[in-house]
Structure 1
Amino acid sequence: MLFSQEALAHIAAGEVDLAFRRWARPAVRPGTQLRTAVGVLAVDAVAAVEESAVSDRDARRAGYADRASLLADQRPGADRTLYRVTLRRVGADPRIGLRADTDLSAADLDAIVTALGRMDARSGHGPWTTATLELIAAHPAVRAADLAERAGREKLPFESDVRKLKERGLTESLDVGYRLSPRGRLVLDHLRGGRD
């Protein structure tokens, strides 16, 4: 589920606790946790609803001025059903704390390097983790498409791999491109054998 920055700000402030989406089938289910720019959101309920059941109060709880505005903003399509999603912010994105955590022993660093090696071994395009960390270190805040081209890769698979590094707290997204996190710099230094 995608949210505008404005909607996320209202969710974080506790002003919005509903979302409405017209889907062919639900994209989330109760218990789903969504990581967003304002932290982790928990999906508490997902229910199909008729348009006639949507009230102005529901619309305001979803960040709209009224029911008509909310319904006008939904995807059209006879094959789609309107769903009412109840959600709430439950905490900070755990990757943020992970990115800043540099209190790592040599054994911790070795374990991270081993995990990266497993990611390389499972890859259909060969080892990529160290090369991607090096590329981001050398070119922070550069568009993903440009980085992918430098790596000789397609943009979408490249971005998918960078997200895998982000999950481990090694990279962080910027408005444009990426940079290594403090943890990522430490891991890259360890991969380089302590050089630099």
Structure 2
Amino acid sequence: MLIRLADWDRIRSGEVTLQFRRWKRPTVRVGGTLRTSQGVLEIDAVDVVARVSRAEAVAAGFPTVKALKSTVDGREGALYRISLRFVGEDPRIELRSSSEVDGLVLAEPAVALLRLIAAHPGVRAADLAEMAGREKLPFKADVRTLKAKGLTESLRVGYRLSPRGEAYLRTLDD
């Protein structure tokens, strides 16, 4: 679930507590968390709605219902109201800036992926996947696994190794 960058400070402060999306099926679930580069959100409710009140539009960061609807109208699926709250910073940020890799063991395919990203920082996922002879979506899922371990960072385009990822590769080269 993408959240407008302009909403993040207001989500952190608790001023924005709702988001609205049109989905064929929800991509978040009640009780789940959404880990993003801006922080971690807890999902408190996910409901299909037929109408949006002005108060709900304001709670979603919009001045009017019309402004909110302009972001969801014309898209397929039911209209969902998602109640959320900020619960903390992204734990991957601290992890990736660490050079602590004791006990971390990766399978050879993951090591190969790290080496590929190290050799081609800032290259689009589709291009990296092609270089690796892989489909893009499974490739990106594997990169997310490395990111969760604090080994890579997403760039505006592509990826790069984090300091922890660089430290891990150095242990292999020793």
> What is the TM-score when the length of structure 1 is the normalising length?
0.78
Identity of aligned residues (%): 54
SS at match of 1:136: helix
Distance 2:26 2:153 in 1: 29
Distance 2:129 2:22 in 1: 34
Distance verdict in 2 for CA 1:59–1:143, change over 3 Å: same
Residues 1:135 and 2:127 aligned together: no
Structure 2 counterpart of 1:32, one-letter code: G
Structure 2 gap segments, 5+ residues each: none
Partner of 2:172: 191
Distance verdict in 2 for CA 1:75–1:181, change over 3 Å: same
Moved over 6 A (4+): none
Distance 1:143 1:84 in 2: 33
Distance 2:131 2:30 in 1: 41
Distance verdict in 2 for CA 1:17–1:98, change over 3 Å: same
Residues 1:83 and 2:80 aligned together: yes
Following superposition of structure 1 onto structure 2, how do residues 43-62 of structure 1 map, counting pairs within 5 Å?
43-51=43-51, 54-62=52-60
Distance verdict in 2 for CA 1:151–1:26, change over 3 Å: closer
Structure 1 counterpart of 2:133, one-letter code: G
Distance 2:57 2:72 in 1: 12
Give a deviation string over 1:82-130, Cα, whole Å, max 9, x none. Answer: 22211111101111111122234xxx2xx322xx22xxxxxxxxx4211
Distance verdict in 2 for CA 1:75–1:27, change over 3 Å: farther
Structure 2 counterpart of 1:66, one-letter code: T
Distance 2:91 2:19 in 1: 23
1:47 Cα deviation from its structure 2 partner: 2.4
Partner of 1:17: 17
The higher radius of gyration belongs to 1
Structure 1 gap segments, 5+ residues each: 118-126
Deviates more, 1:168-177 or 1:1-10: 1-10
Give a deviation string over 1:20-68, Cα, whole Å, max 9, x none. Answer: 12333333222110011210011112223221xx221210111222012
Distance 1:160 1:25 in 2: 20
1:13 Cα deviation from its structure 2 partner: 4.4
Distance 1:150 1:80 in 2: 36
